[in-house]
């Protein structure tokens, strides 16, 4: 009888342990990955579209091998010029981040790190050492051609070397998912949209000011305004007096218009282009050498209406669109279909994974050697489990740890 009671107690203990482990596993996946957002989606099982493979081939052209010494040299060259450049390693399918001297060791993941850990839950990646820029585009100094190793970037000039395109941190996290949900909620059929153009955005390039001045000249065709925060009123006073400042537009206002001009920001503008493609409205896109990971797959007059880079023909193109409604409806629908097939959240993660696999194939790194090196340098931190990292920081009162300071808000 005593043995039976002991056996039952042992079973209950094992059951409780398994249940507790399951709870902790569920909590980890919810807090530190994006798996719940791709549940039931073709995550890492969907084949790459031909244009994706072409973009990968284009970015990795000439990249035969990426030695660790090249990463060291490139990081040393760029780290003083690019504070938003971060170095990561994947070792035995766990994620490590390097925190340079003077930078706080954050205890929370940013969107890209959660995406990386999501991929690591479902895919076996090679051991790798890579540099990733959180700047909206390629670091400007020094020249990309001077770099010894490529950098993962969200945007670049079309023919610039050493930049491997990946989805930006907004599109790889909740920002883009929220945009997708908002578009579905505010969806407006083409026949109920009005033949009018609407744009809102920050003053990151002079051409955006040009767009707003066009709006003042042709208010019956276009409403374009620069967004400005209230606390910036004094610094924006000349633009306010000029009449080019305005409040933000709602999703309903955007989707009720047939025409949505797109203008590059610091470099490209994410996720501004992909949500326009998804919107069911017609995108007017200026000629530009700036590209994102999917830009080269887009075809003029198939997915968007091209306009000159200085917007000198934009009004003419809007008038053309009003006279060719059926053609424009078809272009808008083809753009929406492209976005639905290739730019939804699971597609973003899929492409990121393909980049990492291609990158890892260019390196041959020994896990034991990497671990030994990282043990000697305390600035290398295993961020695979941030909850454990927080407990370690609190227990040991480790200097340099903090709860803020992820790359998005540096």
**Final residue belonging to a domain, choices 293, 312, 344:** 344
Q: Does 404 lie in the same domain as 269?
A: no
Bridge partners (DSSP) of residue 105 are 401
pLDDT, residue 28, reads 63
How far is it, in rounded angstroms, from Cα 330 to Cα 282? 9
Structural domain range at position 61: 50-165+362-409
Quick check: is 5 in a domain?
Answer: no
pLDDT, residue 404, reads 43
Higher local confidence (pLDDT), 279 or 387:
279
Split into its structural domains, the chain has a count of 2
Q: Does 366 lie in the same domain as 340?
A: no
Question: Among candidates 409, 364, 276, which has minimal Cα distance to 69?
Answer: 364
Q: Does 398 lie in the same domain as 289?
A: no
Quick check: is 170 in a domain?
Answer: no
Q: Does 153 lie in the same domain as 219?
A: no
Q: Does 207 lie in the same domain as 160?
A: no
What kind and span of H or E run contains 237?
helix 237-242
CATH number for the domain harbouring residue 340: 3.40.50.2000
Task: Quickly count: other Cβ atoms within 10 Å of residue 366's Cβ.
Answer: 11
Q: Does 368 lie in the same domain as 271?
A: no
Quick check: is 188 in a domain?
Answer: yes
pLDDT, residue 309, reads 97
Least confident of 22-36, 63-77, 311-325: 22-36
pLDDT tens-digit map of 229-242: 656 666 678 888 89
The tokens describing 219, both together, are: 């208010």
* DSSP annotation of 39: T
């Amino acid at each position: 009888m005593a043995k039976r009671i002991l056996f039952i107690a042992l079973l209950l203990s094992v059951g409780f342990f398994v249940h507790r482990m399951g709870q902790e596993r569920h909590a980890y996946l919810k807090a530190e990955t994006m798996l719940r957002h791709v549940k039931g989606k073709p995550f890492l099982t969907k084949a790459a579209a031909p244009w994706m493979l072409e973009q990968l081939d284009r970015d990795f052209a000439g990249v035969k091998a990426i030695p660790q010494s090249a990463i060291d040299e490139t990081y040393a060259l760029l780290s003083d010029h690019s504070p938003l450049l971060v170095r990561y390693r994947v070792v035995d399918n766990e994620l490590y981040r390097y925190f340079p001297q003077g930078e706080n060791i954050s205890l929370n993941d940013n969107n890209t790190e959660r995406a990386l850990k999501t991929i690591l839950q479902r895919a076996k990646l090679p051991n790798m050492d890579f540099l990733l820029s959180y700047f909206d585009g390629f670091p400007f100094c020094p020249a990309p051609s001077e770099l010894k190793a490529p950098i993962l970037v969200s945007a670049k000039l079309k023919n610039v070397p050493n930049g491997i395109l990946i989805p930006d941190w907004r599109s790889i996290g909740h920002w883009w998912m929220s945009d997708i949900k908002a578009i579905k909620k505010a969806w407006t059929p083409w026949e109920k949209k009005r033949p009018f153009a609407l744009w809102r955005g920050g003053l990151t390039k002079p051409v955006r000011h040009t767009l707003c001045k066009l709006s003042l000249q042709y208010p019956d065709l276009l409403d374009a305004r620069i967004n400005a925060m209230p606390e910036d009123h004094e610094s924006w006073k000349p633009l306010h007096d000029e009449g080019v400042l305005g409040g933000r537009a709602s999703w309903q206002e955007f989707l009720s218009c047939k025409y949505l001009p797109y203008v590059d920001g610091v470099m490209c503008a994410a996720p501004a282009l992909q949500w326009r493609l998804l919107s069911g409205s017609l995108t007017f896109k200026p000629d530009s050498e700036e590209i994102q990971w999917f830009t080269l797959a887009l075809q003029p007059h198939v997915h968007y209406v091209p306009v000159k880079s200085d917007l000198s023909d934009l009004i003419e193109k809007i008038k053309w669109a009003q006279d060719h409604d059926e053609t424009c409806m078809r272009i808008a629908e083809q753009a929406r279909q492209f976005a639905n097939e290739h730019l939804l959240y699971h597609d973003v993660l899929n492409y990121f994974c393909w980049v990492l696999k291609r990158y890892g194939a260019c390196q041959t790194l020994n896990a034991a050697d990497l671990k030994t090196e990282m043990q000697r340098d305390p600035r290398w931190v295993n961020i695979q489990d941030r909850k454990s990292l927080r407990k370690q920081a609190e227990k040991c009162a480790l200097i340099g740890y903090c709860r803020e300071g992820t790359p998005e808000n540096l």
